[in-house]
């Protein structure tokens, strides 16, 4: 598998590290990890980084994950980049909102590395 | 905004303690890599040097808190991050995320809140010299669990 650049968006630095570790445990080789602590920072990061995958929380200050997904979907530079939500918001309505906005996957916290593998590999076009 | 009337009734009629305990057990087992054991509330009271809290609004309205002593908070952070958890900021961040995931896991297990209960971002207080006054003075559920022998108190306080 080619090495990828992942953008991890979460207001918790601890959670960003855990998500990165889970990606590595899932066998995904990371060329670079770009971190953002809210949706607004993530939009800025997308303008200056070539990103292959976005993992994004929903409940964040400044700009939440759903608004980020909506705005990223309208950005030319973000077209085609798969977005997977990783969030404590587990309701069906949140899942529908996220997928309608343009997310390609949805992982509920707490999560295992296997769940990350199960949801992330398909959106990268990789077999599990 | 108050807690949905039907959920207020349910909180009186149903025993939500096992649901809260299960939510805590799952978060620790999956994210911390450690099993926690349910403990008696009277014989195990944590020294509350760290308090993480997440607000609930909508169908459930109130606050969920996670309290423990400083050493335990540090051990939780180390279990989540490895030895890289070396600052007070990271310890607080880790405990805040634990609180956030317990709140989310609890409401996801509770039928009838689908999409109608929102969570705030976590807040963490460190230091024991404070008094906690919540405006949520309705139903209260408290679980005390042992993490490597040390008590962690998880409280859910709902507005009526």
Contacts of B81 in chain A (CB under 8 A): 14, 17-18
pTM (2 decimals)?
Answer: 0.90
Query: What residues of A are in contact with residue B80 (Cβ under 8 Å)?
Result: 14, 18
Tell me the C-alpha to C-alpha distance, in Å, between residue B82 and each of A16, A29, A71, B70, B156. Answer: 14, 21, 35, 17, 29
Question: Count of H helices and E strands in chain A?
Answer: 5, 5
Identify the pLDDT of residue B44: 72
Q: Which of A14-18, A20-24, B22-26, B136-140 has the lowest mean pLDDT?
A: B136-140
Given a cut of 70, whether residue B141 has pLDDT beyond it is yes
Q: Give B138's pLDDT tier (boundaries 50, 70, 90).
A: confident
Q: Do A13 and B26 touch (CB under 8 A)?
A: no
Q: What domains lie within chain B, and their CATH numbers?
A: 5-158 (3.40.1550.10)
Q: How confident is the model at residue A112 (pLDDT cuts 50, 70, 90)?
A: very high
Radius of gyration over every alpha carbon of chain B, rounded to an integer in angstroms: 15
Cβ pair A60:B105 closer than 8 A: no
| Residue B137 scores a pLDDT above 70 | no
Residues of B in contact with A93 (CB under 8 A): 114-115
In this prediction, residue B99 carries a pLDDT of 98
**Each residue's pLDDT tens digit, B53-106:** 999 999 889 999 999 999 999 999 999 998 777 788 999 999 999 999 999 999
pLDDT digits (tens, 9 = 90+) for A1-47: 689 999 999 999 999 999 999 999 999 999 999 999 999 999 999 99
Q: Which of B74, B79, B91, B100 to mutate to test the interface with A (most CBs of A within 10 A)?
A: B100
The predicted model gives B22-40 an average pLDDT of 93
Reply yes or no on whether the pLDDT at B41 is more than 70: no
Contact at CB, B97 and A110, closer than 8 angstroms:
no
Cβ separation B115–A15 shorter than 8 A = no
Angle between helices B17-27 and B88-109 (to 10 degrees): 130
B109-124: average pLDDT: 85
Contact between chains at B97 and A61 (C-beta distance less than 8 A)? no
Residue A76 CB contacts under 8 Å (≥ 6 apart), including other chains: none
Kindly report the nearest CA distance between residue A79 and chain B, in angstroms.
28
**Alpha-carbon distance B160 to A56, whole Å?**
34
A111: nearest CA partner in chain B: B30
Question: Looking at residue B23, what is its pLDDT?
Answer: 97
**Inter-chain contacts counted by CB atoms under 8 A, chains A and B:** 68
Output the pLDDT for position A92. 86
Residue A115 Cα, gap to closest chain B Cα (Å): 11
pLDDT digits (tens, 9 = 90+) for B2-18: 666 677 677 666 789 99
pLDDT at site B46: 75
Query: Is it the case that residue B115 has pLDDT exceeding 90?
Result: no
Q: In which band, very low, low, confident or very high, does the pLDDT at B136 lie, cut at 50, 70 and 90?
A: low
Q: Do B113 and A18 touch (CB under 8 A)?
A: no
Q: Nearest-CA residue of chain B relative to A15? A: B97
- Kindly indicate the confidence band of residue A128, based on its pLDDT and cuts at 50, 70 and 90: low
Q: What is the pLDDT of residue B159?
A: 83
Residue B1 predicted with pLDDT over 60? no
Q: Other CB atoms closer than 10 Å to residue A75's CB: what's the count?
A: 12
> Which domains occur in chain A, in start order?
4-123 (3.40.50.2300)
Closest CB to B96 among A12, A60, A61: A12
Which of chain B's residues have a Cβ under 8 Å away from the Cβ of A12?
93, 96-97, 100, 122
pLDDT band at A127 (very low <50, low <70, confident <90, very high): low
Task: Quote the distance between the C-alpha of residue A3 and its chain's center.
Answer: 16
Per-residue confidence (pLDDT) for residue B5, from 0 to 100: 67
Q: What is the mean pLDDT of chain A?
A: 94
Contact A109 B108 (CB under 8 A): no
Question: For A54-110, what is each residue's pLDDT tens digit?
Answer: 999 999 999 999 999 999 999 988 999 999 999 998 888 889 999 999 999 999 999
């Amino acid at each position: 598998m080619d090495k990828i650049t992942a953008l991890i968006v979460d207001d918790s630095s601890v959670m960003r590290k855990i998500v990165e570790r889970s990606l590595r445990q899932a066998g995904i080789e990371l060329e670079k990890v770009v971190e953002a602590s809210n949706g607004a920072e993530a939009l800025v990061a997308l303008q200056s980084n070539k990103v292959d995958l976005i993992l994004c929380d929903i409940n964040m200050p400044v700009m939440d994950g759903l608004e980020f997904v909506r705005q990223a979907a309208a950005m030319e530079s973000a077209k085609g980049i798969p977005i997977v939500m990783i969030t404590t918001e587990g309701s069906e309505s949140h899942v529908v909102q996220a997928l309608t906005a343009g997310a390609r996957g949805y992982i509920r916290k707490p999560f295992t590395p296997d769940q990350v593998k199960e949801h992330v590999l398909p959106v990268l076009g990789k077999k599990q | 905004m108050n807690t949905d009337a039907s959920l207020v009734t349910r909180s009186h009629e149903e025993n939500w303690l096992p649901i809260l305990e299960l939510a805590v057990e799952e978060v620790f087992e999956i994210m911390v890599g450690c099993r926690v054991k349910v403990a008696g509330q009277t014989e195990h009271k944590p020294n509350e040097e760290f308090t993480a809290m997440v607000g609930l609004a909508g169908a459930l309205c109130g606050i969920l808190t996670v309290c423990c002593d400083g050493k335990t908070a540090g051990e939780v952070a180390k279990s989540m991050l490895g030895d890289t958890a070396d600052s007070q900021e990271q310890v607080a961040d880790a405990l805040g995320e634990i609180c956030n995931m317990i709140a989310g896991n609890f409401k996801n297990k509770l039928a009838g809140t689908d999409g109608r209960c929102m969570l705030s971002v976590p807040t963490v207080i460190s230091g024991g010299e404070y008094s906690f006054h919540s405006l949520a003075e309705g139903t209260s559920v408290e679980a005390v669990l042992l993490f490597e022998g040390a008590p962690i108190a998880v409280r859910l306080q709902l507005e009526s």
